[in-house]
């Protein structure tokens, strides 16, 4: 009986230790991942900045009025938003990195999309890596900061929105207009073209009723897509969200 009890006790100890061991391995792996990212960033001296989110503005309807109304797009290249983003990011990063100007086909980066099927992306890899390798000049910088459109589901439903746009939502009980500026940032290794880091911009801190997991703002019904105030609101969303996003990616030292 004593021998049986001793075996039972040993077995119980082993069973209790297994989850702790697994947790330790996972923790170690996560720690190693962050170490790898930070180590790679420490070796980066020269960077180039690519921005391609400001080609078009999407007007979408949701709720009761959105069932039979597809989104429409308005060209906004004249806003020069990408040039402003490059300027703002370069200014933020210049304290730590040597920022060098780069040329690239903005339309290629703006129209390239990842597959909605995760498995497909895993097989073919990040499509923006190839663009950086083949379409950005000069080559040979330590890293490239690539800012492109992000996607998100609106209201937890099946409607997906992307990039810059305005959602007009209307039901019997509720109606509002939601402005959004969805983007993500990649840090691409300039030698191996591996993705060092990738992160989508999060919602602004003061957005109490966020309906999108990214920079968004409920606006007044008087806004019009041709109104200068609309352009200013989009610019404000992007510019105010950039410092936190760069900080979360460890590209700047602290949130501004």
Instruction: DSSP letter for 128, please.
Output: H
Does the pLDDT value for residue 78 go beyond 50? Answer: yes
Which of 52, 178, 149 lies closest to 106 in space, CA to CA?
A: 52
Does the pLDDT value for residue 120 go beyond 70? Answer: no
Mean pLDDT of the chain: 81
Q: What's the token pair of residue 16? A: 């209790």
Which of 93, 88, 94, 92 lies closest to 239 in space, CA to CA?
A: 88
Q: What's the token pair of residue 186? A: 């990649």
- pLDDT, position 29: 45
Q: Which pLDDT tens digit goes with each residue over 180-208?
A: 999 999 999 999 999 999 999 999 876 55
* % of the chain beyond a pLDDT of 70: 73
The CA distance from 64 to 174, in Å, is 10
Does the pLDDT value for residue 51 go beyond 90? Answer: yes
pTM of the model: 0.79
Non-local (6+) Cβ contacts of 76 within 8 A are 54, 55, 56, 57, 164, 231
């Amino acid at each position: 009986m004593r021998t049986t009890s001793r075996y039972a006790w040993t077995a119980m100890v082993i069973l209790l230790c297994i989850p702790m061991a697994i947790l330790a391995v996972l923790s170690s792996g996560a720690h190693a991942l962050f170490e790898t990212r930070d180590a790679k960033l420490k070796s980066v001296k020269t960077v180039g900045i690519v921005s391609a989110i400001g080609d078009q503005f999407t007007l979408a309807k949701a709720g009761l009025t959105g069932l039979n109304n597809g989104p429409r797009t308005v060209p906004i290249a004249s806003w020069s938003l990408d040039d402003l983003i490059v300027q703002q990011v370069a200014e933020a990063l210049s304290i730590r990195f040597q920022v060098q100007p780069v040329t690239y086909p903005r339309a290629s980066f703006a129209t390239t999309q990842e597959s909605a099927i995760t498995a497909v992306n895993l097989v073919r890899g990040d499509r923006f890596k190839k663009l950086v390798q083949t379409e950005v000049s000069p080559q040979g910088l330590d890293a490239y900061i690539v800012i492109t459109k992000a996607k998100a589901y609106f209201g937890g439903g099946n409607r997906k929105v992307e990039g810059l746009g305005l959602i007009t939502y209307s039901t019997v009980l509720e109606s509002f207009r939601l402005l959004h500026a969805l983007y993500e940032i990649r840090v691409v290794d300039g030698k191996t073209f591996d993705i060092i880091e990738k992160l989508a911009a999060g919602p602004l801190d003061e957005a109490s009723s966020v309906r999108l997991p990214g920079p968004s703002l409920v606006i007044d019904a008087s806004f019009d897509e041709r109104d200068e105030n609309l352009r200013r609101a989009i610019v404000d969303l992007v510019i105010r969200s950039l410092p936190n996003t760069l900080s979360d990616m460890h590209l700047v030292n602290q949130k501004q």
